[in-house]
Structure 1
């Protein structure tokens, strides 16, 4: 095993250890999540038995634990293995799908205020299904509308998290 001080230096040592980059990314995201969670303002009267900080704390700690476990595994020589019949780089990346999904998510972020969650959510679900290959134009919009309304109702009614209703606010 080569070390950073060997004749190849850091570049040679890091070659084949790209999972360390994922570990660093997980560590940074975990620290950001925990930092935001610990500085979150909460009102004591609005909290239930669990509170609004519980899930972000669990997620932040889990990200840190996974980052450390992954880093230790990689430094001990562990590597991700391709599944049987799968070769890394054997298929080109489908950048069209990635671009469509990114555009749909960005459009949803822009449209959620003026249109509200029910309409924007339906567009998000329908657009994602289209980007991922579904071409059933009679079923997909219906399923998207049902998913969006169910999500809206679950958040507003069951969880008590108000989502923007948009022009449908008077109807819902």
Structure 2
């Protein structure tokens, strides 16, 4: 007479298999991103009277196909037993926990700049972004950092808006100049 298998063994075995093949999640994300890029490229409204063999769909189609190929190759590697290795760089101490304070500060600074870019303009939002990023990453030079951030932001604005012809929102400061 055989005894029935333990019903809790199957979910534990499934969990162990998923833990051992967790890189398949990355494959799924790459697959979804590739399908999204290809769908967007194929439904793009394009002027069909283009000149030359390369049109606006070419790069998205190549990138989308590349994402699908990489997703498939990674999935095959993972299913054959391939494993990703933890980073062992000399500048990374794997025994230290993640610095969530810095991550949250950088996220807040980035979101703040994104909200301010339209009403305040790129020079102001960019200066706050550069200064906030320097502060979040540990710089406490209040005499130097705001000045460097302002100069960097205004130079970036001038290069993109004036020299390269990429229109950036100037905000009230640029309207006065």
TM-score, length-scaled by structure 2? 0.71
In structure 2, how many angstroms separate the alpha carbons of the residues matched to 1:128 and 1:53? 36
Task: Give the equivalent residue in structure 2 for 1:3.
Answer: none
Task: Give the equivalent residue in structure 2 for 1:17.
Answer: 21
| Structure 1 range deviating more: 64-73 or 132-141 | 64-73
1:75 and 2:75 correspond: no
**Closer, same or farther in 2 for the Cα pair 1:54/1:11, shift >3 Å?**
same
How far the C-alpha of 1:22 sits from its partner, in A, is 1.9
Task: Give the equivalent residue in structure 2 for 1:105.
Answer: 110
In structure 2, how many angstroms separate the alpha carbons of the residues matched to 1:67 and 1:21? 10
TM-score, length-scaled by structure 1? 0.72
Q: How many residues align?
A: 164
**Closer, same or farther in 2 for the Cα pair 1:102/1:27, shift >3 Å?**
same
- What is the root-mean-square deviation of aligned Cα atoms in Å? 3.4
Task: Give the equivalent residue in structure 2 for 1:160.
Answer: 165
- Once the two structures are superposed, the pairs formed by residues 8-157 of structure 1 within 5 Å of their partners are 9-41=13-45, 56-57=60-61, 59-82=63-86, 83=88, 90-157=95-162
SS in 2 for 1:160: coil
In structure 1, how many angstroms separate the alpha carbons of the residues matched to 2:46 and 2:117? 25
Higher-Rg structure is: 2
